[in-house]
Structure 1
Amino acid sequence: MVRCRRCQPLPEEVARAADLLGRRWVLAILWASAEGGAVRFNEFKQAIDGIPPRTLAQRLCDLEQAGVLERRVLDTRPPRTEYRLTPEGRRLGMLVTAALRG
C-alpha cells in the first residue's frame, strides 16, 4: 500500500463537525434554520417530517452545545423557547445549503 506523505491526521475541529453533521436529522434541522429567523420546537416538528420529538430535543441540545444554535427562553405564559443559528451556525448553514442545492 502506498502512503501519502502529505496526509495529515484529521484536525479535531473537522472530526467534531463531521461527527455532528453525520448524526441523523442534523442536516434537516440546519436546513429548517437556514432562513435566519427564530424557530420554535413545534415549527421544527412541522418542517421536518417524521422526526420523533425526543430525537428533535436531543439534536437541538447537541447543536446548542456545539455552538451552532442559540436557545432563548421567552418570558411569556406559557414560556416559549426559540432557537437561532449562531454566527458559526450561519456559516455552517450556508455551506450545507450550498451543498444540498448542488
Structure 2
Amino acid sequence: MLNFSVSLILSLVMIFCGGWGFVSYHKHLLNSLLSLEFMMLGIFLLLGMNVSGVGSEIYICLFFLTLGVCEGALRLSLLVLIVRSHGNDYFKSFNMLEC
C-alpha cells in the first residue's frame, strides 16, 4: 500500500489535472463531464485517505461515493438529453434563446 505522502500527492495531482481539463478542454460537454468525474475521484481518494487515518469511521466515504454516483448519473442523463435534442454535444451549438 502507498504511504500517506504519495497518496496525498497522487490525489492532489488528480484534482488539479481534472480542474485543468475542465478549464482548457471545453469544446465538448463529455470532456467537461469526464474531467469533473476525475476531480471527484481525486477528492474521494483524499477523503478516504484522511478518514481511514483518523479511525474506523468510514461511513462518510460511502456517503460521498453515493453522492458522486448520483451526480454522475444526473450528468449522463443530461448528456443524453442534450444529444437527443441538439444532435451533438458541442458547446457552440447550444443557444440559450431556444426553447
* TM > 0.5: no
Scaled by the length of structure 2, what TM-score is found? 0.26
Scaled by the length of structure 1, what TM-score is found? 0.26
Higher percent of residues as helix: 2
Greater gyration radius: 2
